[in-house]
Amino acid sequence: MQLQHLLGIEPLHPHSITAILDLADYYADQNRTGVRKSEALAGCTQINMFFENSTRTQASFEIAGKRLGADVMNMAMQASSIKKGETLIDTALTLNAMHPDLLVVRHPHSGAVDLLAQKVNCAVLNAGDGRHEHPTQALLDALTIRRSKGRLHRLNIAICGDIAHSRVARSNLILLSKMENRIRLVGPATLIPAGIDAFGAEVFHDMEEGLKDVDVVMMLRLQRERMDGGFIPSEREYYHRYGLNAAKLSHAKPDAIVMHPGPMNRGVEIDGEIADDLNRSVIQEQVEMGVAVRMAAMDILMRNRRQAATEAQA
């Protein structure tokens, strides 16, 4: 697998997805033991640049890098020269001149991370760009599903809520379709982009119908910060129609799992009791698998980089 960057799920072949998940499985098991440290990224410099707020993704990338022995730096973007008017590309070129090996970037604009990857000569990982992609989230969701269902194909999966503003939904839709699952998108018409059924998903506007007999219920946060108008009548009304509670979940298969990428709005898209129900909710496993998937992705990118450097010398 000669992946140079991890910018999205779209360019990945199913074999590459499986290879990342297999290595992540190994790291997930290792992370549960007392010996969590390895040397796969020893001597490497990893820079995390988050232009949008993040708790779990940034912490997860930092822990992943440190467990693999990398030197990890978190750029405080609020205090950076971007605030003085420097462009994203100039900041990237400045950092590039310090010879990092891995750049982990989150940016509010779709496409910004791809652009940056063209300007630097280190490996770039997309930690979420606008509404476009969030590849490591889709990979960690896939690993969580594979570990709890025992497979990652021929499952009925409902992705519910604010699809329109969600890079998580987009990356998941692409990944889960590539792995030959049946995807349903469930939400109000205002939050489902027109033409999305071209991706091969079925669209539902009623939760009970949409959840009928599914194996996986993936809830999404209502992304208020990306809304510029009246997408929903009120949060109360939204919860009533689209918030996941026990009654709505009873339409899914009895062993269906409940997922949420976080951060959650309890009482808006999901009932707190469902989120905390360890028999149904795998939300904490998602966070756990996040570290393992990021370790796997960075390990693979660094191996490819080293191999390319060796070939260039020969």
| Site for ligand NCD contains 110 (CB under 6 A) | no
Is the Cβ of residue 163 or residue 300 nearer to ligand NCD in the bound state? 163
- Which residue has the closest beta carbon to ligand NCD? 221
Angle at 64 between CA 293 and CA 151, to 5 degrees: 15
Least spacing, CB of residue 70 vs ligand NCD, in Å: 21
Query: Chain-centre distance of CA 129, in angstroms?
Result: 11
Prior bond of 233 cis (ω within 30°): no
| Site for ligand NCD contains 137 (CB under 6 A) | yes
Is the Cβ of residue 44 or residue 296 nearer to ligand NCD in the bound state? 296
Q: Residue 203 phi/psi, 5° resolution? A: -105, 135
Token pair 């100039």 is found at 90
What does the block give as tokens for 188? 């109000």
Q: Which of 134, 146, 170, 248 binds ligand NCD (CB under 6 A)?
A: 134
Q: Interface mask (CB under 6 A) for ligand NCD, residues 152-181, using x and -?
A: ---------------xx-------------
Contacts of 29 (CB under 8 A, 6+ apart): none
Question: Taking Cα atoms as reference points, which of 311, 312, 292, 245 lies closest to residue 22?
Answer: 292
What does the block give as tokens for 261? 């990428």
Say how many residues touch ligand NCD, by CB under 6 A. Answer: 11
CA distance 170 to 192: 11
SS3 state at 281: strand
Q: Interface mask (CB under 6 A) for ligand NCD, residues 215-234, using x and -?
A: ------x-x-----------
| Site for ligand NCD contains 48 (CB under 6 A) | no
What does the block give as tokens for 240? 């009533």
| Site for ligand NCD contains 244 (CB under 6 A) | no
| Site for ligand NCD contains 130 (CB under 6 A) | no
Is the Cβ of residue 54 or residue 96 nearer to ligand NCD in the bound state? 54
| Site for ligand NCD contains 262 (CB under 6 A) | yes
| Site for ligand NCD contains 149 (CB under 6 A) | no
Q: Residue 104 phi/psi, 5° resolution? A: -110, 120
Q: Which of 123, 261, 293, 298 binds ligand NCD (CB under 6 A)?
A: 261
Is the Cβ of residue 52 or residue 277 nearer to ligand NCD in the bound state? 52
Is the Cβ of residue 45 or residue 137 nearer to ligand NCD in the bound state? 137
The answer to whether residues 191 and 161 touch, using CB atoms and an 8 Å cutoff, is yes
Question: Taking Cα atoms as reference points, which of 309, 294, 262, 310 lies closest to residue 6?
Answer: 294
| Site for ligand NCD contains 56 (CB under 6 A) | yes
Least spacing, CB of residue 146 vs ligand NCD, in Å: 19
| Site for ligand NCD contains 57 (CB under 6 A) | yes
Does an H or E element contain 249, and which?
helix 246-249
What does the block give as tokens for 236? 């109360």
CA distance 281 to 120: 40
Is the Cβ of residue 169 or residue 201 nearer to ligand NCD in the bound state? 169
Query: Interface with ligand NCD by CB under 6 A: which residues?
Result: 56-57, 128, 134, 137, 167-168, 221, 223, 261-262
